[in-house]
Structure 1
């Protein structure tokens, strides 16, 4: 038997070490429980001074529980985005940062809206998992545990949905249901009624969302549009801990219009159909009047009916122009290429 030289022995030892390292690396990659995972909590804030302490306390407790029971190597960060609050929201977040370096603040120069705050939070988040939630505790932090479990089972998006609309006003509830029904009929992207922005997403999903650079963003549809393997978690309605909601009926209506225009061209098609039908009706009625006059010699005065028809046609034209104007306005704002937000301070 030929003896093995010292050089050959060292070479085989190095190959064995390399094989062991590759095996350990593959095992770690295929078993998320054995690798360090960073969880980013993105929280858009607008006048949330009264709830931030309680939100941080409750959410931190859930994260500690996840570390103890589900994912021992979990690390976390809080990304609070102050959307131009008029109270002491930013100062309260700074106080939390002094206690916990995992708390980060992104402060806007003014109020740019929740969609801009979500986008800024995604851009600052560094986590393997990103959780988007509100600070008012209507999104129960306890659900994060189930989200992380589902993530470890292979789901890229774990979103939440309210079981019912208890706590909402009757009119608001009915308008919300009508919005979802109409939206799902005219759009190629389907949204479940009662779905919240509250969700956990893999970093690959967030990366795809950041590639969508449209100025007018409608996150609910964007979350559905990107695809990926999803799971829904239902929860009971929770009242606000403190403060009042900033979502008025007017803001919700504008948000609904944003959704219709951003993810569907159906309003333009509908305007065309209305215009075609009205034109066809006017042509048929005009032919009827001419024939009746020629055959029977009846000269219709019809002053009142003429005024009604003119007003009706004028109203239809204004509606059609309004629909076209909504799309043109979005093109105009998109081509200006202004930033979605301006950051005044980052901690």
Structure 2
């Protein structure tokens, strides 16, 4: 199933019996969440019912979990009419799991939330109230972050500061993918086919009326975080290279620095030749060689990152494949 094929269906957001699309869709990517998934569904469905009655759908997207997450999702879908289970063919990563859910979501409004209960489902009411004021996107900004190490807090702050300075698009700080978006924004996101996705940046790039709601982020309800340092670095690289050309321009800066230092060294050598004080040591030569070598490797690394993105895009592979979709409503057409 290709995301591009889902962007313009013949009868968008309709069920087989031609009932109107739900007022609200919730997209929740799940990876190894068997321990806390039942609690999440209980709180999320209660929050949805408070906002939309029974006119909602909760899409649980299983991103190739290695535990019993898919079995739990199947049980949840069988016991809750509003729950839809989506089983991806393998682990594609958080951003593509969200993308798969957005492609299947049919609601007039769509909430993106993780299933680990760090983001409170009960905030849906406040997000909906702000959207009632005419906003296209209401994102949740983290006021505090419970049970997170100083290293993670420091690196996250550094990332958002760096991204804010380098990005060509204003991307809010301390904001993840937890947000409520309008149907218009979802349709536009589904029309963006890029492979290496940074959804919070893509939403910012779309523009429109956007606002924030502050909240306190909780610790995980169960289990351990699945966002390892490697995954965080990969997401950071996607954000930096996907929304800024500043790293490419750094090559010019390195070249200018190299030329400046080279002119200084040339002046030093000429002065030594005129005065008869010719440098005989190898230290300065070694330092110059190391400096220029590091500069060249840095430039090649930056260029390689962008060329790698081009390589992935030109292959034009499907973003993901869905193995199975289960729902308690037999008349649903996901």
Question: TM-score, normalization: structure 1?
Answer: 0.85
User: 2:298 maps to what in 1?
Assistant: 319
Q: Name the structure where helix makes up a greater proportion of residues.
A: 1
User: In structure 1, the residue corresponding to 2:261 is in which secondary structure?
Assistant: helix
User: In structure 1, the residue corresponding to 2:129 is in which secondary structure?
Assistant: helix
Cα root mean square deviation, aligned: 1.6
Deviation at 1:290, TM superposition (A): 2.7
User: In structure 2, the residue corresponding to 1:193 is in which secondary structure?
Assistant: coil
User: In structure 2, the residue corresponding to 1:163 is in which secondary structure?
Assistant: strand
**Rounded Cα–Cα distance in structure 1 between residues aligned with 2:199 and 2:62:** 18
**Rounded Cα–Cα distance in structure 2 between residues aligned with 1:296 and 1:155:** 73
User: 2:225 maps to what in 1?
Assistant: 245
**Rounded Cα–Cα distance in structure 1 between residues aligned with 2:78 and 2:147:** 36
1:285 corresponds to 2:265: yes
Distance 1:37 1:148, change over 3 A: farther
Deviation at 1:288, TM superposition (A): 3.1
Deviation at 1:188, TM superposition (A): 2.0
Deviation at 1:269, TM superposition (A): 0.5
Distance 1:337 1:36, change over 3 A: closer
Deviation at 1:284, TM superposition (A): 3.3
**Rounded Cα–Cα distance in structure 1 between residues aligned with 2:21 and 2:188:** 23
Aligned equivalent of 2:118, options 118, 138, 155: 138
1:160 corresponds to 2:140: yes
1:308 corresponds to 2:287: yes
User: 1:51 maps to what in 2?
Assistant: 36
1:335 corresponds to 2:314: yes
User: 2:97 maps to what in 1?
Assistant: 117
Deviation at 1:217, TM superposition (A): 0.8
Deviation at 1:167, TM superposition (A): 2.2
**Rounded Cα–Cα distance in structure 2 between residues aligned with 1:287 and 1:332:** 44
**Rounded Cα–Cα distance in structure 2 between residues aligned with 1:225 and 1:192:** 11
Contact residue 21 and residue 106 of structure 2 kept, 8 A: no
Aligned equivalent of 2:177, options 167, 172, 197: 197
User: 1:219 maps to what in 2?
Assistant: 199
Deviation at 1:279, TM superposition (A): 2.2
User: In structure 2, the residue corresponding to 1:344 is in which secondary structure?
Assistant: strand
Query: After superposition, what is the alpha-carbon deviation per residue over 1:246-298, rounded to whole angstroms, capped at 9, x for unaligned?
Result: 011222122112211111000010122112211232133124313431x2233
**Rounded Cα–Cα distance in structure 2 between residues aligned with 1:281 and 1:305:** 12
**Rounded Cα–Cα distance in structure 2 between residues aligned with 1:48 and 1:305:** 57
Gaps of 5+ in 2: 1-19, 327-334
Q: Which has the larger radius of gyration?
A: 1
Which piece of structure 1 moves more, 129-138 or 36-45? 36-45
User: In structure 2, the residue corresponding to 1:232 is in which secondary structure?
Assistant: strand
User: 2:7 maps to what in 1?
Assistant: none
